[in-house]
């Protein structure tokens, strides 16, 4: 316990000493505060605690759309793009040097000469790197929790699902960065390798997503694509079987890859709004902003699209990937002479 | 329990590239002594220490450290280590480095605080303990390194080139601190290529070269190979004494006679003979073998033994 506390405290000290950590924390707090500053008036939205009013009658303070807008802004925009993208890039830049620095001559010897096993040391050091994201996301969620509480009287602890999910999503890239950092002992290679890998799996996930939309979502709402003209056309739900085959092939390939994007998207399934769920499920921010009643066929197809992956596909296969990469990395760490 | 803090029966390390850093060594370090391991660069000194501490995995190892098999983690709780070129995280202060080492060694928080303050005082870093490591000189870092090596109140302390980069005043302090550790009953294992320093501080010494221990023993035993005695007289050496000296392989040059012997007793017949010849003896001085002399001659000998024999010249070839 004492050793674990020591290594984790050291990780926190390392983070505190990193300029990027503070920049990231401040931006996070700023984004969360801007979110908290959004309110609704009789005529629409007010931003920066009433300093700037936007005329949008559809989102007036009495409308159900205003509440949906506020909640979806968090799950569909902020969680996906700020927490799931920008903050993770900053975290990766800040943490990719942890293992290469730790493995430097004169540094690793100090730790290995202590009565702590290599597996424990490795896992604690690894966990220390994840603290960067956990601390930042935790702070962010705390502000959002109070914002939702005060704005919508929605005191919703499921918001805090973002902490483990975003941290897990980060860990899928971080484990690759640690692997490359351990093999090459280079911070630059660790960062570049991890970013390239992230880019590759994102392309795979986008491809899978696009093919699903074309093969299932669009036919489900009676829309198809004419590939010769690029125009949309009416279609039967069972049409486009070639696309379905292509989707199945792509899905099989992406199955073995870690799903950072899907993890972030899964937050929408985990963050529950008891009384508002029927209003939010199968609906995205664009649909809310377009106004009017949502087509039940589209809502149903969207719901199917959002829930198309099982938890095993999203978390299970990603976890399996991480365990394999971690296993190989630890094997190298444990057997190497320093 | 073994009478040795470190008892290496057999230790061999061959790296993946095929380089044999330790070619099967045997070594005993008794409790409570300062043990100096000396050898040229690349001799395998650091490899040996790292093998004992589990930092690298020996190819073959039999032996004990603090009564437990080498390679086990448990005895490391009673071991301190200052690596060569120690590198501490620059974001930590001197005090935090010592506390970090205490935490990894499982030292209870309450005793770690007291011990940290004591050690910072001892190594002369109390006034700078709250500053970040990044602002320290090499010598200051080494002092903090020594404090972190002692924070768990170790029975054995391994110091790998401890005075590397330390100024002369700091070196004197280090020697004093090493002697202090011995007085506290600790076993101190010093790796160094600074022979004069080792000679001043070590009780026992081993010479490691080419992955083999070629000599080991107390400093006195190793340097007791004899001494050179130089005797100076007034005027030149008379012919009858000169002949007598040459017969006994003494070197005569002008007014001085030099002779290598086990002890000064061997010089007494010469003095008698000179006195009988009414020669005035001006001075006689003894020059003992230093560790450096021993080291140079042993390393030289080891290299000659290891060198392949010269090939015979081909018939008819260039002479």
pLDDT at B318 over 50: no
pLDDT in tens, B49-107: 999 999 999 999 999 999 999 989 999 999 999 999 899 999 999 999 999 999 999 99
Q: Does A16 touch chain B (CB under 8 A)?
A: yes
The answer to whether residue A230 neighbours chain B at the CB level (below 8 Å) is no
User: Scanning every residue of chain B, which has its alpha carbon at the shortest distance from the alpha carbon of A103?
Assistant: B87
Average pLDDT, chain B: 88
Measure in Å the smallest separation between the Cα of A105 and chain B Cα atoms: 7
Contact residues of B toward A, CB < 8 A: 15, 50, 53-57, 73-77, 79, 81, 83-89, 91-92, 96, 99-109, 148, 158
Residue A290: band (very low, low, confident or very high) from pLDDT cuts 50, 70, 90: low
Q: Residue ranges of the domains in chain B?
A: 4-222, 226-288
Q: What digits encode the pLDDT tens for the residues B205-261?
A: 999 988 999 888 888 888 776 778 899 999 889 888 999 999 988 999 889 999 988
Selection from B122, B144, B123, B124 nearest residue B133 by Cα:
B144
Contact B89 A10 (CB under 8 A): yes
Check residue A78 and give its pLDDT: 87
A-B CB pairs within 8 A amount to: 90
Q: What is the mean pLDDT of residues A248-262?
A: 89
Q: Are B20 and B212 in contact (CB under 8 A)?
A: no
**pLDDT of amino acid A305:** 84
How close is the nearest chain B Cα to the Cα of A89, in Å?
22
Look at residue A338 and tell me whether its pLDDT is greater than 80.
yes
Q: How far is B63 from chain A (nearest CA, A)?
A: 18
How far off is chain A from B283, nearest CA to CA, in Å? 52
A10 inside 8 A of chain B by CB: yes
Where are the domains positioned within chain A?
2-335
B10 touches B24 (CB < 8 A): yes
Please report the ipTM that was assigned to this predicted complex: 0.77
Instruction: Write B93-96 long-range contacts (CB < 8 A, 24+).
Output: B93/B129, B93/B130, B93/B131, B93/B132, B93/B133, B94/B120, B94/B125, B94/B128, B94/B129, B94/B130, B94/B131, B94/B133, B94/B136, B94/B140, B94/B144, B94/B147, B95/B120, B95/B129, B95/B130, B96/A13
Two tokens, residue A172:
């899928």
pLDDT of residue B311: 58
The architecture CATH gives domain B226-288: 2-Layer Sandwich (3.30)
- Assign domain B4-222 to its CATH superfamily: P-loop containing nucleotide triphosphate hydrolases (3.40.50.300)
**Dihedral angle over CA of B173, B176, B181, B185, nearest 10:** 180
Shortest Cα–Cα distance, B189 to chain A (Å): 15
Token pair recorded at residue B25: 């060594």
Interface test with A, best of B19, B45, B93, B100 (most A CBs within 10 A): B100
Interface contact A338-B92, CB threshold 8 A: no
């Amino acid at each position: 316990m004492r050793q674990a506390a020591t290594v984790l405290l050291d990780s926190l000290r390392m983070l505190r000493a990193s300029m990027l950590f503070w920049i990231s924390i401040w931006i996070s707090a700023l984004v969360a505060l801007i979110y908290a500053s959004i309110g609704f008036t009789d005529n629409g939205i007010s931003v920066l605690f009433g300093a700037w009013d936007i005329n949008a009658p559809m989102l007036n303070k009495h409308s159900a759309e205003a509440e949906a807008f506020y909640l979806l802004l968090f799950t569909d925009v902020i969680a996906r793009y700020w927490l799931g993208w920008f903050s993770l890039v900053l975290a990766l830049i800040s943490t990719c040097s942890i293992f290469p620095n730790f493995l430097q001559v004169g540094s690793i010897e100090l730790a290995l000469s202590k009565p702590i096993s290599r597996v424990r040391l490795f896992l604690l050091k690894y966990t220390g790197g994840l603290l960067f994201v956990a601390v930042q996301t935790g702070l962010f969620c705390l502000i959002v929790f109070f914002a939702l509480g005060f704005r919508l009287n929605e005191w919703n602890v499921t918001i805090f699902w973002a902490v483990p999910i975003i941290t897990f999503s980060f860990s899928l890239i971080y484990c690759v960065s640690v692997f490359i950092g351990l093999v090459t002992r280079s911070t630059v290679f660790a960062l570049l390798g991890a970013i390239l890998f992230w880019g590759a799996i994102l392309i795979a996930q986008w491809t899978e997503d696009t093919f699903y939309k074309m093969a299932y979502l669009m036919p489900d709402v009676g829309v198809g694509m004419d590939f010769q003209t690029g125009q949309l056309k009416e279609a039967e739900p069972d049409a486009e079987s070639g696309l379905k085959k292509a989707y199945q092939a792509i899905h099989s390939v992406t199955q073995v890859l870690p799903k950072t994007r899907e993890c972030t998207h899964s937050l929408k399934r985990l963050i529950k709004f008891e009384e508002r769920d029927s209003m939010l499920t199968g609906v995205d921010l664009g649909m809310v902003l377009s106004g009017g009643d949502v087509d039940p066929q589209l809502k149903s197809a969207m719901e199917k699209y959002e829930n198309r992956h099982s938890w095993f596909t999203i978390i299970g296969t990603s976890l399996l990937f991480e365990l394999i990469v971690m296993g190989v990395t630890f094997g190298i760490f444990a057997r190497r002479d320093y | 329990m073994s009478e040795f803090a470190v008892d290496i029966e057999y230790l061999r390390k061959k790296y993946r590239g095929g380089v044999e850093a330790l070619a099967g060594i045997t070594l005993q370090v008794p409790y409570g002594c300062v043990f100096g391991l000396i050898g040229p660069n690349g001799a395998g000194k650091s490899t040996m220490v790292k093998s004992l501490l589990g930092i690298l995995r020996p190819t073959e190892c039999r032996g004990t450290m603090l009564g437990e098999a080498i390679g086990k983690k448990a005895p490391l709780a009673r071991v301190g280590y200052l690596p060569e070129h120690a590198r501490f995280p620059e974001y930590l202060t001197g005090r935090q480095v010592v506390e970090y080492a205490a935490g990894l060694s499982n030292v209870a928080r309450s005793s770690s605080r007291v011990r940290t303050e004591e050690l910072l005082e001892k190594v002369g870093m109390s006034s700078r303990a709250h500053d970040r490591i990044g602002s320290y000189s090499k010598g200051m870092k080494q002092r903090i390194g020594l404090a972190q090596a002692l924070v768990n109140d170790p029975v054995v302390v391994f110091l790998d080139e401890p005075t590397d980069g330390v100024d002369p005043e700091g070196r004197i302090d280090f020697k004093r601190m090493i002697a202090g550790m011995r007085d506290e009953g600790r076993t101190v294992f010093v790796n160094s290529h600074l022979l004069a320093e080792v000679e001043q501080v070590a009780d026992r010494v081993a010479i490691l070269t080419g992955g083999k221990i070629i000599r080991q023993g107390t400093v006195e035993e190793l340097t007791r190979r004899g001494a050179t005695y130089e005797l100076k007289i007034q005027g030149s050496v008379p012919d009858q004494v000169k002949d007598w000296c040459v017969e006994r392989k003494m070197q005569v040059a002008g007014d001085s006679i030099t002779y290598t012997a086990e002890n000064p007793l061997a010089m007494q017949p010469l003095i008698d003979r000179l006195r009988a010849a009414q020669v005035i003896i001006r001075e006689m001085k003894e020059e003992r073998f230093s560790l450096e002399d021993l080291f140079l001659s042993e390393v030289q000998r080891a290299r000659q033994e290891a060198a392949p024999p010269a090939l015979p010249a081909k018939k008819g070839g260039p002479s």
